Structure 1
Amino acid sequence: MLDELLHRVSNHTPHDLQADQRFPEAAVLVPITRSDEPELVLTLRASGLSTHGGEVAFPGGRRDPEDPDLIFTALREAEEEIGLPPGLVEVIGPLSPLISLHGIKVTPYVGVIPDYVEYRANDAEIAAVFSVPLEFFRKDPREHTHRIDYQGCSWYVPSYRFEGYKIWGLTAIMIVELVNLLYDAEIDLHTPPKSFINT
């Protein structure tokens, strides 16, 4: 079942960004556990970090000059942040790149990992490592919706709450693309939901 779903990712053509050469690059790994009930592995970033401290994110970070490509960046950062050995990751393919609030082009890479991995969080960067069943996001159980205006477009981004963790922003956008791709969930980021109140 998981392999059938991941076949959609490998055949997916991500949306491209215009004029993306102007931005520094980063990559994140979107780890999915290989199990009957696949889960996404996420991190809670340490509160003392200068950017995105205390926020939920996929493991990842800035591309180093010596990184041969962005897949290498994603795998390197995942090993540094949560102790995930690159050899345990089967990289399936990229999702669409996004521009962060700090002006960094972030490319997500979906990867399959065993469900028995013992994570070793880098305390300087990561406060917690946790997993969320993919099925949780399939029904779009948003707590509320954030409106984000970017390059003349409005994005209506869900904010999820799972066991006390708030999942929103770029991470939520990546999850929506993945869930739409895997399950035909048809979660629309460009039309406000009926429950949306513009504050």
Structure 2
Amino acid sequence: MLDDLLRRMQGYSPLGLPIDESLPQAAVLLPITRSAEPCLVLTLRASGLSTHGGEVAFPGGRRDPEDSDLICTALREAEEEIGLPAGLVEVLGPLSTLVSRHGIQVTPYVGLVPDYVEYQANDAEIASVFMVPLAYFRNDPREMTHRIDYLGKSWYVPSYQYGEYKIWGLTAIMVVELVNLLYDAGIELHRPSAPFTHLS
């Protein structure tokens, strides 16, 4: 399966927004374990953070002036937040660039990581680190759908409940793009999947 992901990433052209230099830039890493059952590594952000506190997210953050590019941002943040050494990550490429509700332009990067890493959550930012088998998302086991209107478009974003963790918003959009790419899952983000809740 990972060989298939490598092949598909090599020929993939993300459909996201062009980089808007007027917006703050950020990057996140979508770490996938090299294992018989590949898993996505996710975080639960600390509840006291000023943005996205208490939400599930991929490791990442804003670009620093010292970062040579956004890949460096994603790798640096992953090391700072969950103790993932940059040298252990094989970056496969980007997914579509998105804009968060806080007006930050976020570029996701897919990376392969060993399955033996012992993650160390940075307590100031991360409440916990957890893994979800990629195959879990294959059949779109959504709990509900959120409708988000943005830039003249309606997005119908799944919300997944995995144990105690709710995976939704920008993180769920990234998961859907990855799962569609890997499994040809055909999960639709621009048509309603009833029932849905409208988020302004």
TM range (shorter): over 0.9
Aligned to 1:152: 152
Aligned to 2:20: 20
Q: Counterparts in 2 of 1:174-189, with a 5 A limit?
A: 174-189=174-189
1:154-184 alpha-carbon deviations (Å, 9 max, x no partner):
0000000001100000000000000000000
1:13-63 alpha-carbon deviations (Å, 9 max, x no partner):
011415722211000000000011100000000000000000000000000
Would the aligned equivalents of 2:16 and 2:98 in 1 still touch at CA under 8 Å?
no
Aligned to 1:125: 125
Paired residues in the alignment total 199
Would the aligned equivalents of 1:43 and 1:126 in 2 still touch at CA under 8 Å?
yes
Would the aligned equivalents of 2:145 and 2:194 in 1 still touch at CA under 8 Å?
no
Structure 1: stretches of 5+ with no match in the other structure: none
Would the aligned equivalents of 2:81 and 2:122 in 1 still touch at CA under 8 Å?
yes
1:55-109 alpha-carbon deviations (Å, 9 max, x no partner):
0000000000110000000000000000000000000000000000010000000
Q: Counterparts in 2 of 1:1-199, with a 5 A limit?
A: 1-18=1-18, 20-196=20-196
Distance 1:84 1:146, change over 3 A: same
- Separation in structure 1 between the aligned mates of residue 197 and residue 163 of structure 2, nearest angstrom: 25
- Separation in structure 1 between the aligned mates of residue 197 and residue 97 of structure 2, nearest angstrom: 28
Would the aligned equivalents of 1:6 and 1:182 in 2 still touch at CA under 8 Å?
no
How far apart are residue 11 of structure 1 and its match? 1.5
Would the aligned equivalents of 1:27 and 1:109 in 2 still touch at CA under 8 Å?
yes
* Secondary structure in 1 matching 2:21: helix
- Separation in structure 2 between the aligned mates of residue 142 and residue 80 of structure 1, nearest angstrom: 31
Residue identity matched to 1:140: D
* Secondary structure in 2 matching 1:75: helix
Residue identity matched to 2:180: N
- Separation in structure 2 between the aligned mates of residue 80 and residue 49 of structure 1, nearest angstrom: 15
TM-score, normalization by structure 1:
0.97
Percent identity at matched positions? Answer: 74
How far apart are residue 197 of structure 1 and its match? 6.1
Residue identity matched to 2:151: Q
Residue identity matched to 1:178: L
Structure 2: stretches of 5+ with no match in the other structure: none
Would the aligned equivalents of 2:180 and 2:186 in 1 still touch at CA under 8 Å?
yes
Would the aligned equivalents of 1:26 and 1:62 in 2 still touch at CA under 8 Å?
yes
Distance 1:120 1:49, change over 3 A: same
Cα root mean square deviation, aligned = 1.3
TM-score, normalization by structure 2:
0.96
